Amino acid sequence: MNATYSVIIVGAGNSQRFQSKKNKLLFKLTNNLTIIETTLQTFLNDQKCTQIIVGVNDEIFAYLQPKYQRNQKVIFTTGGNERVDTIKNCLLNNKIINDIILIHDGARCYLTNDFIDKMLGEFVVNNYETLIPLLRINDAIKKINDKEIVETVHRSEYGLVQTPQMFKTSVLLGVYQNYQKKSS
């Protein structure tokens, strides 16, 4: 399979849920790279990935830019206040050079190239417009109101959405151009 793809790595968040004062993307792993660098390496090491657009805040940009400024594959774009805005900025402020685009969370650093290959294969063979990994839920799910359990919901009706999420570029661009019109 000769399909190539672009990827948007969302890395503009402020790590509010991470139990540290430091941005979780800059947390060093045992490989002596930060989480965001480890995520980047996955795509840098994939020959099928020909464009990496990283949506960043000032802190992440200041850390990554000196390390990747000479890499033609990596483009930095200022992120937005919300994930949706970061993706919009990355999409609409850059020329996407592939017909397939992935969106991946910069904090999800343990993605493998084998997983991407499986997704890409399924996407191309089935001529999908979108492909999003979904994990089934095995645990009981409770709807709560404050600290009180209100209802037990059927786990078979829910799943956990994962990244990367794969799209035909034309489809994703259409969605975000519509989003931009509605938010203007």
| 103-144 pLDDT tens trace | 999 999 999 999 999 999 999 999 999 999 999 999 999 999
Overall average pLDDT of the 143-162 stretch:
91
pLDDT score, position 101: 98
pLDDT score, position 151: 92
In the structure, what pLDDT confidence band is assigned to residue 10 with cuts at 50, 70 and 90?
very high
Q: Rounded CA gap, 90 and 53, in Å?
A: 7
Can you tell me whether residue 60 is helix, strand or coil? helix
pLDDT score, position 134: 94
What is the DSSP-derived secondary structure letter of residue 144?
A: E
Domains in the chain, please, with CATH?
5-134+161-178 (3.90.550.10)
The answer for 32, left when phi > 0, alpha when psi is -120 to 50, beta otherwise, is left
Single-letter code of the amino acid located at 119: M
Q: Rounded CA gap, 176 and 174, in Å?
A: 6
**CB proximity list for 39: less than 8 A, separation 6 or greater:** 9, 11, 104, 106, 107, 108, 109, 111
Can you tell me whether residue 34 is helix, strand or coil? strand
What pTM was computed for the model?
Answer: 0.89
Single-letter code of the amino acid located at 17: R
